[in-house]
Amino acid sequence: RMTEAGATCRGARAILEPLWQRNPELHGNQLARIDILGAQLAGPDRPTDACQLARQALATAYDPALKDSAQELIDQLCA
């Protein structure tokens, strides 16, 4: 059910992104979590999308652990 999970991530991101734009500090970590999950779901099947999502997660995260997770994905997926 990976396709459904990916669609759910895209839907969640579409809802959260306008809120993040208004208040990045409040919503940045949640948006990063969604992007990390989306990158993991896209993985090797869609490496360009996965890399982009991982980079977005790194840019939006405030939590150092989330930044580390995003960077690990970038290192794996964006080679």
Q: Is the pTM of this model over 0.85?
A: yes
> What pLDDT does 9 receive?
87
- Is the pLDDT at 3 greater than 90? The verdict is no
How many Cβ atoms from other residues are within 10 Å of residue 15's Cβ?
10
pLDDT at 79: 80
Q: Which pLDDT band holds residue 2 (cuts at 50, 70, 90)?
A: confident
DSSP letter for each residue of 15-37: HHHHHHHH-HHHHHHHHHHHHHH
User: 14 CB contacts (<8 Å, ≥6 apart)?
Assistant: none
Residues 8-53 pLDDT 10s? 888 999 999 999 999 999 999 999 999 999 999 888 788 999 999 9
Q: What is the pLDDT of residue 53?
A: 95
Q: Note the pLDDT of residue 35.
A: 95
